[in-house]
Structure 1
Amino acid sequence: MNFKKYLMDKLLYIFFFYINIIVVILVMHLSLTISLGLYPMENISYAFILSTVFLILFLIIDYSRKRPFYKSLNNIKSSSNGIENMLGVGEIRSREHLIYRDILFNNYKYYKDYLDKYEENQRQYIYFTNQWVHQMKTPVSVINLLLQDKNTKNFNEVLQSIEEENEKLSQGLEMMLYNTRLSQFNLDFKVEQIDVLSIVREVINDHKKLLIKYSIFPKLEGEKELIVETDRKWLRFVINQILNNAMKYSKGINKDNKSIIIKAKKEHNRYIISIMDEGVGIPQQDLRRVFDPFFTGENGRKFSESTGMGMYLAKKICSNLGHRITVESEEGKWTQFSIVFYSGGSIFKM
């Protein structure tokens, strides 16, 4: 901003300044007229000239003080990287400039945090998509090999194998769908009172063939119903992920009758549903990273089906719904995931 533009910006101030001078002179003139005194025109002219000189001095000094700030704004305006230059907005000479700089800094910080979060989400999404595509190739290849094997005599076994691989495809597609929906969570949820155990029974019923095939028997213990406020669709996905993990890491155990124990209990102002398997367990050093994105740990390297995204999505969904998910485990013996619902707690936290 040059001096000419600065003066144009101060026109209203200059106008009221002269109005004030005229009012003061008129008051003085009226006072002297009433007291029969004389107020020569020379004095009026002198008062105007002196006031004008002081006004010009004030404007020059004020502009000189603010000039570095205006110059910085012009540089930011003409710069191709103006956002980055906001932090060096120039020497602060007034409280107005200080407030302006703080506003710029806060806006920049918000923009930077939002951009970093967006870029991180994009990186995770691209990585997850690549992992997902590679994982989906496996069941497709297996199905193709089964269909090409014309010497197979037992077609029931072939159909069972295809069904199992198709289930993996279905689970993979569901995970991709929920991962995509999660970015618009606030537009895709409905809170209602739901019996958590009814969802557990639905998920168990969906997997009953695999449970029978791997000799895994679910057991319900504790409360007969657990009514909480949540979203059925999202909670069903979380429970399905926990049960999938329980089956995946239990099926290879050399034991005739393996169990998945589901416990429902109420504690003061909270309700807890726990799902415990008798599988391979989680090494102690991996426990704290179970909910990290793309983390598979030692067990993930042994089971090629692991993507490291299931429990990450489960954790994020529970957090958004106002619930808490925890994990406990003893390597080689058992693993237990628990979902904690708080009565009267807030729903949907982003």
Structure 2
Amino acid sequence: MIKKYVMERRSWIMLFILQQMLIIFIAFIDSAIPLLPILYLVFLSMLLFTIFLVIRYHKETRFYKSLEERDNNLDLTSIASPESPFEIIIENSMTNQVDLLKKAASQNLMALEQEKDDLLAWIHEVKTPLTAMHLMIGRLDDEMMKTHLTYEWLRIHLLLDQQLHQRRIPFIENDLYMEHTDLETIIFNEIKTLQSWCIQKGIGFDIQLEAAEVLSDAKWLAFILRQLLTNAVKYSHASDILIKSYQLAGQTILEVKDSGRGIDPKDLPRIFDKGFTSTTLHQDIAATGMGLYLAKKAAQSLLIHVDVKSAIGEGTTFTLTFPLKNEFVRITGV
């Protein structure tokens, strides 16, 4: 700050030094003016000017130091009170800017909330005709047509469900309800939803649940499993998907293993990134890049650790490691 202060006042300092040099020069060329007293006077002037600069430095930089040290937010309470007219101008300008930014942020937040509410309302409205469509498809006699329409219906259903949970993810903490959850019930419900798709692709399930119950939120756990099972079915051919659970060091482990195409090693660190699809099959327009991202976000809120192992042509294994019971104290507070 000292360097900045000197640079700011350099024109004043240079003017004072030039004045003193001018006085010495005049005394030097004019023999009628005694040089020694002039030098003494210049020395006293320089001393006083230096003391003046030191005093003014602390007084004039207090406001600017508070600006430099403040956090990058819209809180102006940490700024020192302005003393000079220029400092008052700066404070007024900043206050006006902050007020405008707060007003704009408030308006944008309201618009975003309205957009989110409108989208959620639209999703719920669409679910009604979608349910009716599913019932109508079930009454078709043409099995081939029924299979194709059911598959397309399922795609729309899963995309709407993904959108619904994407809007709820930022507020997931308000929606959590921890309870003893039966894994078998959740898994069979999700498999039932994907049944027509699995039959079409010739995919079966091998379920081995040594640990049948976990402490978690049933709705969000179902959403996580839905994303993993959807991916497993989507990228697998006629084969069995293995779903097994077991206890390890007091923790429940749930694995979902498929025999599909696998994931390229260079893609593994990025599969949970928002919007990431694939580098090997980048032309796959059916992929949204949101399923695993949302599943990971939900799992973090449930304190579930998600791990993945995969190799090209050898399938993929997703592992969910559930937390110990006492780890939920920070979520439930009990």
- Coarse TM-score class (shorter-chain normalised): 0.5 to 0.7
Q: Confirm or deny that 1:179 pairs with 2:179.
A: no
Correspondent of 2:231 among 218, 226, 245: 245
Correspondent of 1:204 among 174, 191, 208: 191
Runs of 4+ displaced beyond 3 Å: 63-76, 81-90
Distance, in Å, in 1 between the alignment partners of 2:252 and 2:305 is: 11
Gaps (5+ residues) in structure 2?
Answer: 1-54, 82-104, 120-129, 134-140
Residue 160 of structure 1 is matched in structure 2 by: 147
Residue 105 of structure 1 is matched in structure 2 by: none
Distance 1:246 1:302, change over 3 A: farther
Aligned partner of 2:198: which letter? Answer: L
Residue 176 of structure 2 is matched in structure 1 by: 189
Residue 267 of structure 1 is matched in structure 2 by: 248
The structural deviation recorded for 1:314 is 0.6
Output one character per residue of 1:221-243: Cα deviation in whole Å (capped at 9) or x when no partner.
Answer: 251x4321110000000001000
Distance, in Å, in 1 between the alignment partners of 2:234 and 2:67 is: 61
Q: Is the 8 A contact 1:69 1:89 kept in 2?
A: no
Q: Is the 8 A contact 2:147 2:196 kept in 1?
A: no
The structural deviation recorded for 1:86 is 8.3
Distance, in Å, in 1 between the alignment partners of 2:73 and 2:272 is: 39
Distance, in Å, in 2 between the alignment partners of 1:299 and 1:162 is: 29
Distance, in Å, in 1 between the alignment partners of 2:146 and 2:255 is: 34
Distance, in Å, in 1 between the alignment partners of 2:184 and 2:142 is: 37
Residue 306 of structure 2 is matched in structure 1 by: 325
Aligned residues: 226
Q: Is the 8 A contact 2:63 2:79 kept in 1?
A: no
Aligned partner of 1:339: which letter? Answer: L
Distance, in Å, in 2 between the alignment partners of 1:67 and 1:156 is: 87
Distance, in Å, in 1 between the alignment partners of 2:312 and 2:185 is: 30
Aligned-residue identity in percent: 26
The structural deviation recorded for 1:345 is 4.4
* Aligned CA-pair RMSD: 4.0
TM-score (norm 2): 0.58
The structural deviation recorded for 1:268 is 1.4
Distance, in Å, in 2 between the alignment partners of 1:160 and 1:188 is: 36
Output one character per residue of 1:232-281: Cα deviation in whole Å (capped at 9) or x when no partner.
Answer: 00000000100000000003xxxxx4110011110012110000001000
**SS of residue paired to 2:313:** coil
Residue 169 of structure 1 is matched in structure 2 by: 156
The structural deviation recorded for 1:72 is 4.8
Correspondent of 2:214 among 228, 241, 244: 228
Residue 301 of structure 1 is matched in structure 2 by: 282
Distance, in Å, in 1 between the alignment partners of 2:298 and 2:191 is: 20
After TM superposition, the structure 1 = structure 2 runs for residues 1-350 of structure 1, keeping only pairs within 5 Å, are 67-68=59-60, 71-72=63-64, 83=74, 155-223=142-210, 225-251=211-237, 257-298=238-279, 300-301=281-282, 303-347=284-328
Aligned partner of 2:185: which letter? Answer: S
Distance 1:75 1:269, change over 3 A: closer
Residue 33 of structure 1 is matched in structure 2 by: none
Distance, in Å, in 1 between the alignment partners of 2:168 and 2:73 is: 35
The structural deviation recorded for 1:212 is 1.4
Q: Is the 8 A contact 1:218 1:261 kept in 2?
A: yes
The structural deviation recorded for 1:167 is 0.9
Aligned partner of 1:171: which letter? Answer: L
Distance, in Å, in 1 between the alignment partners of 2:316 and 2:327 is: 29
Distance, in Å, in 1 between the alignment partners of 2:280 and 2:223 is: 22
Distance, in Å, in 2 between the alignment partners of 1:314 and 1:71 is: 49
Gaps (5+ residues) in structure 1?
Answer: 1-62, 91-114, 130-139, 144-153, 252-256
Output one character per residue of 1:141-188: Cα deviation in whole Å (capped at 9) or x when no partner.
Answer: xx9xxxxxxxxxx94423322221111111000000000001111211
Distance 1:66 1:321, change over 3 A: same
TM-score (norm 1): 0.56
Distance, in Å, in 2 between the alignment partners of 1:84 and 1:342 is: 39
Distance, in Å, in 1 between the alignment partners of 2:73 and 2:279 is: 48
Q: Is the 8 A contact 2:250 2:324 kept in 1?
A: yes
**SS of residue paired to 2:247:** strand
